[in-house]
Structure formats: C-alpha cells, structure tokens
Amino acid sequence: MGSSALYSHTIYVSDLQHERGFTLIEMLISLTMGLVVIAGITMVFISISQTSSVISSRTERMGDLFLATHLMQAGLRESVSVSNASILTNLANRGVAVPAGYPSSDTVFASLPYWDAASKTLTYQNLEGDVGIFHYQHGSKDSIYWLRPLAPGISGSTNFQELIRGLDTAKGMIVSPVNGGISVTLQSTYSNEQHKNRLVSLAFNMWPRN
C-alpha cells in the first residue's frame, strides 16, 4: 500500500512540471508582436481612409466642373456670332444690374461670345436677341454666376444665379480666342494625401452660330 501511494504521488508531480505557464519573456514577446500587428493594421486603415477621402474629393470637384462646363456649353451653343440686337438695351429692358466694369457701348461686342477681362464676363446672345452672361467673380472663393437669356414668351431671368463655387483663386476661369471661337478652362483644387492642394481642370472650345 505504501509503495502504491508513493508511485501515484510521483506521477502527479511530473504532470505539474509539464503544465507550467508562459514565462515573463514569452509574454512580453507575444505582446510586442501583437502591438506590431495592430499598429500595421491601423496604418493600413488610415492610408486607405485617406486615399478614399482624396478620391472622393477629386471626384466631387470633377463632377462640379463637368456640370458647370456642360451648362456653359449648352448656353453658348445658342450664341450668334454677331449681335442682332442691342446688348445693353436688352439688359436694360429686363432690369438687369450688370457687373462693375461691364462694357458701356454696344460697339464693344463686335463678335460673340465676347470675353471682357475688366468685368470678367462672357457675354452671348441667342437667336431671339436675348442676352446671356457668365460672370466670374474672383475672390477668396471664386465662383461663376449665370444670367440666362429669356425663354421665348417668358419674362424674368433678371438675376445672376450661382453656377459653381470653389474655383481656384488664381486661375479659376480662363477664356482665350481659338480659331474664330473661344476656349474656356475651369480649374478647381482638391487636397491630396499630403494635404497639399492639387489642380483639376476641364476645358472646352466653342464656336458661335453664323
């Protein structure tokens, strides 16, 4: 009986020796590896989030520019090449308050569309003789405002309405002559991953009706 009890006690002690826990060094190594993995996952998440934000910002600005250029082209496409009625008389009859520095003589509008650098206006005229104006306001938040021509038989259209805002403060709207027509470029900015402003632009050429 005594021998049997001693044998059983010896096996119990042996089992305890094989079931010992982790040492402090092993726990520290495991903890460090876990922190490294978590830090890596966090950095990847932040990078993906920043990239997604940049793509979203750039896409949004491109969408704004696309819509603005589409509406501008639709309006300018109606323009005649030579004024068939008084520009200033048409505006005065409608009660339109023209921007500061706007031309004061119809002789200035020898050909249409006409870009006036002083007032930053792009003036055109449809077949019915009604005037439309795109006005670029340069400031802290550059914008383009649009005075639409009158629709046939409909009164109104006496106020400028905002077409797009947040253009580049240096060169938000550029208009230049090209082969008897005009070239219009709209530029805006978005913030990249390094939080630096980058330009995004859309341009189109337009030729008036004869």
Token duo for residue 171: 């060169």
Q: How far apart are CA 15 and CA 114, in angstroms?
A: 97
Neighbour count for residue 87 (Cβ, 10 Å): 23
Q: How far apart are CA 10 and CA 19, in angstroms?
A: 15
Can you give the pLDDT at residue 6? Answer: 45
pLDDT in tens, 113-152: 999 999 999 999 988 888 999 999 987 679 999 999 876 5
The stretches in the chain having pLDDT less than 50 are 1-9, 11, 16
Can you give the pLDDT at residue 127? Answer: 82
Element holding 1 (H helix, E strand): none
For residue 74, what are the contacts with CB-CB under 8 A and spacing of at least 6? Answer: none
Element holding 177 (H helix, E strand): strand 173-178
Q: How far apart are CA 143 and CA 199, in angstroms?
A: 16
Secondary structure letter of residue 148 according to DSSP:
P
Peptide bond just before 113 cis, omega within 30 deg: yes
Q: Could you tell me which of 166, 195, 140 has the C-alpha nearest to residue 61?
A: 166
Can you give the pLDDT at residue 153? Answer: 54
Can you give the pLDDT at residue 2? Answer: 47
Break the chain into its structural domains and give their ranges.
48-206
Token duo for residue 110: 């020898």
Tracing tokens 């750039």 back to the chain, one arrives at 58
Considering the entire predicted model, what is its pTM? 0.73
Ordered alpha helix ranges (H), 19-106: 24-76, 87-93
